Amino acid sequence: MPSSIIIGSGPAAAAAVLALSENPGEKITVFDPGTVLDAEAQEVISKLSKLRVENWGEEDVRRVSMQPKRIQSDSLPEKRSYGSDFPFANKGQLDGVHCEGRVNPAVISSAYGGFSNVWGAQIMPFSAATFKGWPFDFSVMEKHYRTILGHIPFAGESDDLEEWFPLIGSPDPLPPLAPRTQMVLANYDRHRDRVRSTGITIGRARLAFSAPECQPCGLCMTGCPRSLIFSASHSFDRFRRSGRIDYHSGLLAVRVDQEGETAVVQARELSSGRIHRFTADRVFVGCGAIGTTRLILGSLGLDQPVHLAESAQFVLPVISMRPTPDPRRRREFTLNQFTMVIVRDDEAFDVSQIHFYPFNQAYYDALPGFLKHRAAAFATNRLLSRLTVGLGYLPSWESPKVRVSAQISAAHDELPKITLTSEGFSDAKVGGKQVPPMLSDAMKRIRKAAPYLDLWPVTPQMLWSGGAKSYHFGGSFPHAVEPDCGRSTTDRLGRLARWDRIHLIDGSVFPSIPATTFTLTVMANSHRIACEAMQLTG
């Protein structure tokens, strides 16, 4: 009986299991630290999920809707899931991870489902041009995109974004959109030619959530009480219920290796420190890009620095001249509702992207203290009726890199210590902030389109996130058309030269990180790797 081990339970791991489970004879073992939401919060969610929104108790809602927590004063706050920080909790996976400068330290998740417990649910393929330089093209990926979109909930609609980002599959329509979103889309339709002449295209969000079941409640960003937003944990729940996988929690992989035709994993039991040894025909490593990088550096005994590409993140507030009704009086779904793509070429390779969100409580919480005073109510109302916030990304080739320096442990059962450093910042400035030149160009284009869209960028209040904060990073061991015989690149199956039965399946193998949405391609590529690996003999 062929056998496989999956390390991790995030989106990449879920996609690999989806592929491997198609072979009824495949024995699949999965392990990870497996941190989960506390029982009290789970009980509250279960209670709310059975009630209509108007019947929810105020205390129950308060318990599971804690707003993001500011960890660094000049960076985007850290999200919470149902009032909990469990996706970021250190259960040993962050021991020995150090950061220099403005770099996010919470880069490896111990959670069951990984960071998909707190993601934004955006789900769009890379453009065909993005795959230039990859050892396969969009036509190879398309069937895997289609399989993943058939496996997860999918909401979206046909619009101009399809010119570069095909609407693969059959999405459900989005729930009713907020008044500001409706205004922007109407303005775009009215002035399409003028807006498109600036390089800007506007379209509706594409989201991994069960839109037909949505009863808008405004809690999307803190955790949907009906669990309608996809998490990789949902996939693993199904695999476990069906008996298709042998799942072990409480384990942290510390070494991978190959002995002859057998792949070997050593993992530490977090509760006792005891080392377990697993063997299989193949191992698929999906610990997240930095978690995988650390594991592989230690397993190779490689103490030379490696660099991760990142699609750097920024936050852009925009103001509209025309107000909407007070958004605090409405219940909306508060995931991204419309997307702005800024294209600098004719094939959607050199692209930046901004996801715009309707009002949620975090808007109000982020206001200066004086605007929360009763005496400022009139000004605050006017501001909130005009304010929209965008979360934007630049491609990796226009963003700083993240350097990973490893200090290899002499003990064979210890992960190496690693230091993360952001490198390659530019001298360009927007709103007095030091940013890459592409962001300056994007702001110029948005200002040109502002009179037509009624979206005016407030660049002095723009927030530029530190290194590794976007969670859209990878490329430490990129796929190569012709992998070298050293330790830096992988073949199209995510294999380094040293091993032919150990496959890296997450963002660590991406040759580049575009600005467009990330997780769908992580899942599709992992699914592709697992499918192609199953076709190999032995």
Question: How much is the pLDDT for 239?
Answer: 97
| 339 and 177 Cβ atoms separated by less than 8 Å | no
pLDDT of residue 102: 87
Within 397-523, strands assigned E span 401-407, 417-423, 429-430, 433-434, 456-457, 463-464, 473-474, 502-504
* pLDDT score, position 434: 66
CA geometry: angle at 341 spanning 337 and 346, to 5°? 150
| pLDDT given for residue 487 in this prediction | 64
List the chain residues with pLDDT less than 70. 72-74, 425-434, 483-487, 537-538
Listed residue (287, 316, 310, 315) closest to 467, CA to CA: 310
What's the pLDDT tens digit per position in 388-435? 999 999 999 999 999 999 999 878 789 999 999 998 765 555 555 667
Q: Does domain 3-534 have CATH number 3.50.50.60?
A: yes
Give the predicted TM-score (pTM) of the model.
0.96
The pair of structure tokens assigned to 10 is 């995030």
Q: Are 372 and 386 in contact (CB under 8 A)?
A: no
Burial letters for 24-62: b for 16+ Cβ neighbours within 10 Å, e otherwise?
Answer: eebebbbbbbbbbbeeebeebbeebeeeeeeebeeebbe
Q: Outline where DSSP puts E strands in 17-96.
A: 27-31
Can you give the residue ranges of every domain in the chain?
3-534
Torsion, Cα 390 353 336 402, to 10 degrees, reads: -80
> Which pLDDT belongs to residue 425?
60
Token couple for 191: 């002035």
pLDDT in tens, 90-141: 999 999 999 998 899 999 999 999 999 999 999 999 999 999 989 999 999 9
Angle CA 407–411–412, to nearest 5: 100
